Amino acid sequence: MAFELPALPYAQDALAPTISAETMEYHYGKHHQTYVDNLNKAVAGTADENASLEDIIMKAEGPLFNNAAQVWNHTFFWNSLSPNGGGQPTGAIADRIAADFGGYDAFRAQITEAGLTQFGSGWAWLVEKDGKLAIMKTPNADLPMKHGAKALFTIDVWEHAYYIDYRNARAKFIEVVLDNLINWDFVNANLAS
Ligand code: MN
């Protein structure tokens, strides 16, 4: 059974103007699709053909890992966003952010710093590790599950995530994703899982 590009949890233009339909056309329709296609080519006729995406991610290295992890990362990223998201946390995660970071402003400052200081391509994450919330940054396709951490939220800081809408302004992209799109319901669901 081949891997498939998961449907977006909203319309392709639903995140505009924060993330334009044109960015989604390329980022979801071309980049994410290409990772799916390359993963399928890599596993065709191998023992991994019927493996789960997570199993491939945990055991693979090199190009197979890169494509499998980027399929997972992008699906997780789309689910981390909502047209009705953004702003202050709600539910259980609000209490955890207060306890483990000292408040939303400190969380926001730390994940912004992680995204800005990830040199080159990569990801900024809110994770739970050893029972505590933490901020991580990972290069290229790397992701929390490879480091014993549970992903709760991510921002893609590859240039392809923001260059159409914000050109070189990665800081602006991070700011508006946090202000307008962060899906706290998804974060809470991950926390509870
Ligand atoms: Mn991306």
Task: Please report the domains of the chain, with CATH numbers, ordered by start residue.
Answer: 21-80 (1.10.287.990), 92-192 (3.55.40.20)
Whole-model pTM over 0.95: yes
Task: Give distance in angstroms: CA of 26 to centre of ligand 1.
Answer: 9
Task: Give distance in angstroms: CA of 97 to centre of ligand 1.
Answer: 26
Q: What is the pLDDT of residues 63-90, one digit of tens each?
A: 999 999 999 999 999 999 999 999 999 9
Average pLDDT over residues 58-66: 97
Average pLDDT over residues 179-190: 98
Torsion 32-35-40-43 (CA) sign: negative
Task: Give distance in angstroms: CA of 18 to centre of ligand 1.
Answer: 16
Task: Give distance in angstroms: CA of 165 to centre of ligand 1.
Answer: 14
Q: Are strands 122-129 and 132-139 parallel, antiparallel or unpaired?
A: antiparallel
Task: Give distance in angstroms: CA of 73 to centre of ligand 1.
Answer: 8
Task: Give distance in angstroms: CA of 95 to centre of ligand 1.
Answer: 30
CA distances in angstroms from 182 to 18, 85, 145, listed in the order given: 11, 5, 21
